[in-house]
Amino acid sequence: MMESDINWNSIYEILTGPALWFTFIFFVGGLLIRLAFLFRLSRKKDRVIYNHFSLAWGLRSIFQWMIPWASASMRQQPVFSIVAFIFHLSLLAVPLFLSAHIVLWEEAFGVRLWSMPDGLSDGLTLIFIAAALFLIARRRIRPEVRILTSAWDYALLGITMLPFITGFLAYHQWGPYEVLLILHILFSQILLILIPTTKLGHMVLFFLTRAFIGFEMGGRRGARSW
């Protein structure tokens, strides 16, 4: 029994020590490299966009697409828009402001953030899982979405859900706690590593894409992109 505990402790120490630092370095470094590559590519192929650079139009474009139903395309799909908004809000809020994570943030980086009540984080976790299942079902049901969906798209949604599912089960101790905790940390790190190299990178690229569209439509044509 003690040997088993020592083994779990060793795995936990590795995942929260060197593996954690590798994950964050890869996550930040990978995003920076991808942004640099895309910036260089855009300067080569779409240089004309920079002639219409407008901070005001770029910020307006980003802002409008961060508000539910603020754009015409969102209003055309009101249910999908609000579910996608809740999905992304929960995806960011729970990992950043979960009380158990706040302790880890402070221990690792000396950063103390506001922590949400455990009941709220529980609710947002369940809402996130429900929203993710809705998005998976939508990809299966809507023909115009299904034809553009690959097996990898489903895998990415599944990987995104796993840290929430295992974290929820571990917190409530519905199953072997040590195993669930290790899986929660492992899946979370896999998710962070995948972000710079997959479609999940849109968590950062979204802002650039919306800004560039704002430049093109507003700075060049004087028309809204929303």
CATH number of 2-221: 1.20.950
Q: Span 152-165, mean pLDDT?
A: 95
For 159-177, write each residue's pLDDT tens digit: 999 999 999 999 999 989 9
Please tell me the distance from the alpha carbon of residue 167 to that of residue 172, in angstroms, as a whole number.
9
Cα 25-66-76 angle, rounded to 5 deg: 130
Instruction: Return the pLDDT at 13.
Output: 87
Residue 102 has pLDDT above 90, yes or no: no
Please tell me the distance from the alpha carbon of residue 196 to that of residue 212, in angstroms, as a whole number.
20
Please tell me the distance from the alpha carbon of residue 197 to that of residue 192, in angstroms, as a whole number.
10
For the four alpha carbons of 122, 127, 130 and 132, in that order, the dihedral sign comes to: negative
One-character DSSP codes across 93-158: HHHHHBHHHHHHHHHHH------B-HHHHHHHHHHHHHHHHHHHHHHHH-HHHHTT--HHHHHHHH
Position 103 confidence tier, pLDDT thresholds 50, 70, 90? confident
* Under 8 Å between Cβ of 57 and 218: yes
Instruction: Return the pLDDT at 93.
Output: 92
Q: Span 48-70, mean pLDDT?
A: 80
Least confident of 1-5, 18-22, 49-53, 207-211: 1-5
